[in-house]
Amino acid sequence: MWMGAIRLDVATKDAPYAGTDNLVTAKIVRNGTGLLKLKLDYPTEDDLERGAERAYYYSNLPWINDQTPALPDGIGQIPMPYPDHGIEFSSGLKNHLQLQLHIYGDDMWIKDNIDAFVKEIREVATSFDTYGWQEDKEWEYVGTWSKDIALSQDSSEGFTNLNLNLN
């Protein structure tokens, strides 16, 4: 399965001191290996304030293969054995996708819900004898992490890193 885009719907707990001005990132991890760090940050907004809900869209993800070998430089194939972008999860997302949250600072943030959606890239017939890769048009829901957990680089307030596993 190739993930061409991911959307994270992030909610901050609606409670005193739940919001933060610190940067929080979500790293995409496959089978324990970190692949891509995503910022939960819109530069023009106060993103992770108390009670805030934001959708973060990450499209055209870089090409990161898993078990599909890359063709040597200068060699092409029709159809290509993989799309031109996207992150491969050869065994699917369940039990293989993890989001690793990290906070950069000691201004605590309390995570409420995080919902994850993806757009899969699939090999489809483009004519009666030709195949190509096409990204889904609609977002597919893959999971929710709903437990309220505090993040902070101050260990008395919360965790600096938090692993969210898709089971």
* Average confidence (pLDDT) over 126-150: 91
Residue 141: count other Cβ atoms within 10 Å of its Cβ. 11
Q: Which residues pair with 132 in a beta bridge?
A: 124
Q: CA-CA distances (angstroms) from residue 160 to 72, 80, 85, 91?
A: 40, 41, 31, 29
* Average confidence (pLDDT) over 128-155: 93
> Hey, is 150 helix, strand or coil?
strand
Q: pLDDT band at 156, cuts 50/70/90?
A: very high
Report the C-alpha gap between 91 and 30 in whole angstroms. 10
Which amino acid is present at 142? V
pTM: 0.93
Per residue in 30-89, pLDDT tens?
A: 999 999 999 999 988 889 999 999 999 999 999 999 999 999 888 877 778 899 999 999
Q: What is the end-to-end Cα distance of the chain in Å, rounded?
A: 16
Domain boundaries, the chain: 2-165
Residues 6+ apart with CB under 8 A from 4: 59, 60, 61, 83, 85, 86, 118, 119, 120, 121, 135, 136
Phi, psi of 133 (to 5 degrees): -100, 140
User: What proportion of the chain, given as a percentage, has pLDDT over 90?
Assistant: 84
**In CATH, which superfamily holds the domain spanning 2-165?**
PLAT/LH2 domain (2.60.60.20)
Per residue in 81-128, pLDDT tens?
A: 899 999 999 999 999 999 999 999 999 999 999 999 999 999 998 777
